[in-house]
Structure 1
Amino acid sequence: MSRGITRSKRNLALNSSYLSENELLDVGFLEMGKNVMIAKTCIITGEGNIRIGNDVRIDENVVISCPIGSITIGNHVHIASGCYLSGSGTIKLDDFSGLAPGARIFSATDDYTGEYLTNRTVPQEFLNVTFAPVHLGKHVIIGSGTVVLPGCNVGEGSSVGALSLVTKALDSWGVFCGIPAKRLKARSRKLLKLERQLLSV
């Protein structure tokens, strides 16, 4: 009996650490589907430029910055704790994609050559910011601590291992890892069968 009570307390603690349905509606997302869980410790700016699908979970201490541009999050997407998404140049996460803890996605970058000033404290006329969209295809998984740079699309079904650096577009259905990320082998497509089973329930 005591175990049952402990489980109930744990479920209550889990649910209380995420925004309620009313709190989610008050955020003001451009679009939001059903069964969305967003931790209360997340920092989200530019919520009016963000679309969120169904069955999405965004865990604690995630930062999503989208004052300009757009971020589109598909269905069955998980963004784990400590991730950072910079949507100024647009980011799209397709269905069943996911980010492991601490993954970073940048769709804009300062000019690092020294020809211009950098950072947000400097007026626009002294900067040379480059914007480029990032698109993670369906079933893409990005490993913990991995960084995806502006303009780098990851093809459907591919996975990128932990602590990698994505500097260019990656093909579909591959397993990638390293700095820069390189293809190691093909990724299994068995998950497509599992997807069909899930969606037929």
Structure 2
Amino acid sequence: MILQSPSFNPGYATTEELRTLGFAHVGKNVMIAHNCTLIGLENIHIGDNVRIDGQTTIAAARGHCRIGRNVHIGGGTYLACAGGLDLADFVGLSQGVRIYTISDDYSGAAMTNPTVPPDFTNVTVAPVTVGRHVIIGSGSVVLPGVEIGEGVAVGALSLVTKSLDAWGIYAGNPARRLRERSKALLDAERRYLEREV
């Protein structure tokens, strides 16, 4: 049995609705679940054919978040964009992925958390770039300053602390390259884009 109250809206906001809210850009065919938390709409740029599932948070009050076309962001994902985050075309983030472009100093040399004035902290702020056709598995964490090359697949529950070279399959804590990833999907992309013209 499914319980639903009049105030519960399980659906998605449409492109037309989203374009009235103050985003930097909203492409066509964009769907964002109503129960997402989006901070800094003026810094969020969303391409065509994007779906962002429920309970996702995008924190872009500082820094930008640029989402390419044909991107899917799974439910419960958290994107901290203070250092700038770029997700290229055809990226897939599975449920519960965490991408940080800002992080506290855990060494004890400085104080931590956003309630402390900046001159008492030693925060790392660095952009994260996620290349075309990257898929990041559920529960994975990406830290500031990482560049994930085109076509990379990151296995579930991985910790990405360093940049990853293109067209590899990575997994682990920390993530390491396991093998090459097939480029066959590039032919499918070509046929898909030809169909759209």
Question: Taking structure 1 as the reference length, what is the TM-score of the superposition?
Answer: 0.90
Q: Does 1:40 align with 2:34?
A: yes
For residues 87-122 of structure 1, give each alpha carbon's deviation from its aligned partner in whole angstroms, at most 9, with x where no partner exists. Answer: 000010000011000001000111111111111111
**Alignment equivalent of 1:159, drawn from 123, 142, 153:** 153
- Taking the aligned partners of 1:98 and 1:57, their CA distance within structure 2 comes to 10
Distance apart, 1:16 and its partner CA: 6.1
**Equivalent residues of 2:15, 2:26 under 8 A apart:** no
**Alignment equivalent of 1:57, drawn from 51, 61, 70:** 51
Q: What's the secondary structure of 2:86's corresponding residue?
A: strand
Distance apart, 1:23 and its partner CA: 2.5
Which residue pairs with 2:125 in the alignment?
A: 131
Which blocks of at least 5 consecutive residues in structure 1 are unaligned?
A: 1-14
Which residue pairs with 1:106 in the alignment?
A: 100
For residues 29-65 of structure 1, give each alpha carbon's deviation from its aligned partner in whole angstroms, at most 9, with x where no partner exists. Answer: 1111100000000000011111110000000000000
Distance apart, 1:21 and its partner CA: 3.5
Q: Does 1:19 align with 2:13?
A: yes
- Taking the aligned partners of 1:85 and 1:16, their CA distance within structure 2 comes to 22
Q: What's the secondary structure of 2:187's corresponding residue?
A: helix
**Equivalent residues of 2:75, 2:96 under 8 A apart:** yes
- Taking the aligned partners of 2:62 and 2:14, their CA distance within structure 1 comes to 26
Which residue pairs with 1:9 in the alignment?
A: none
RMSD: 1.2
- Taking the aligned partners of 2:58 and 2:189, their CA distance within structure 1 comes to 27
Counterpart AA for 2:122: N
Which residue pairs with 2:3 in the alignment?
A: none
- Taking the aligned partners of 2:11 and 2:36, their CA distance within structure 1 comes to 11
Q: Which has more helix, going by share of residues?
A: 1
Counterpart AA for 1:115: A
Which residue pairs with 1:76 in the alignment?
A: 70
Counterpart AA for 2:20: D
What is the percent sequence identity of the aligned residues?
Answer: 53
Which portions of structure 1, spanning 4 or more consecutive aligned residues, are displaced by more than 4 angstroms? none
Q: Does 1:91 align with 2:47?
A: no
Which blocks of at least 5 consecutive residues in structure 2 are unaligned?
A: 1-8
- Taking the aligned partners of 1:108 and 1:195, their CA distance within structure 2 comes to 33
Q: What's the secondary structure of 2:190's corresponding residue?
A: helix
Question: Which is further off, 160-169 or 26-35?
Answer: 26-35
- Taking the aligned partners of 1:22 and 1:175, their CA distance within structure 2 comes to 38
Which residue pairs with 2:115 in the alignment?
A: 121
Which residue pairs with 2:138 in the alignment?
A: 144
Distance apart, 1:127 and its partner CA: 1.5
